[in-house]
Chains A and B, each alone.
Chain A
């Protein structure tokens, strides 16, 4: 059974801190891993990772995929209170007909 596991479940940091969120996956015929930020209800797309070892970067956020060890990390540097959200990781298969989500990491950034 396909599985995506995120850690930690929750995290409380102060503004300016750097955080690393983890996502491990076991997906048959894995194709891509996606990261989303969920503040209210509808998640917002952050990154899609398909190739191993290539970092994707957007401002203070970056992510990388390790297809050998089956995990991905999402880094946020110089955190701000606006980064407070649930961060979701999801994995798709080659057929593109399944998307399995992890349980999310709830990040709270205190002023």
Chain B
């Protein structure tokens, strides 16, 4: 596709349930990023993938969060045993390479997660 796509656009879940968020990056982009944006806050870096390398998980807020990227393309962010504080907009972005300073990241529309 022409841009980054994410699904679902909205997800309402009950506390304690698991959720999966999907991201399809721009074709050919090797780097993929997940961010979280809580109300009124800036983008919180969660995890990123560079090509087929193991992801950097140091930004994940807890061990309930995990992400994988299959075949160097589509990525899934999984949140287990959701908590109310997980409610936020989850944004995915991709860039041609992982090279902060020379590459622009292109964002998907986000998934708004609401945990009741």
Contacts and interface: CB of A to CB of B under 8 A. Distances in A.
Interface of A: 2, 6, 32, 34, 36, 40-45, 47-48, 88, 96-104
- Interface of chain B: mostly helix, strand, loop or mixed: loop
Contact of B106 (A36, A40, A97): A97
A96 B108 CA distance: 9
Nearest to B33: A99
Interface stretch (B68-76, B79-87, B97-105): B97-105
18 contacts: A6-B101, A32-B42, A34-B42, A34-B43, A40-B58, A41-B56, A41-B59, A42-B46, A42-B48, A42-B58, A47-B42, A88-B100, A98-B106, A99-B105, A100-B105, A101-B100, A101-B101, A104-B101
B4 to A, nearest CB: 8
Contacts of B106: 97-98
Given A41-B58, A96-B107, A103 B100 contact: yes
Contact of B107 (A43, A88, A97, A102): A97
Contacts of A45: 41-45
Nearest to A104: B101
Contacts of A102: 101
B47 interface: yes
A95 to B, nearest CB: 9
A86 B41 CA distance: 21
A42 B56 contact: yes
Interface string B38-65: 0001111111100000001011000000
Of B3, B47, B107, most A-chain CB atoms within 10 Å: B107
B111 to A, nearest CB: 14
Q: Which 3 A-B pairs have the closest CB atoms?
A: A42-B59, A103-B101, A48-B42
A102 B101 CA distance: 4
A14 to B, nearest CB: 27
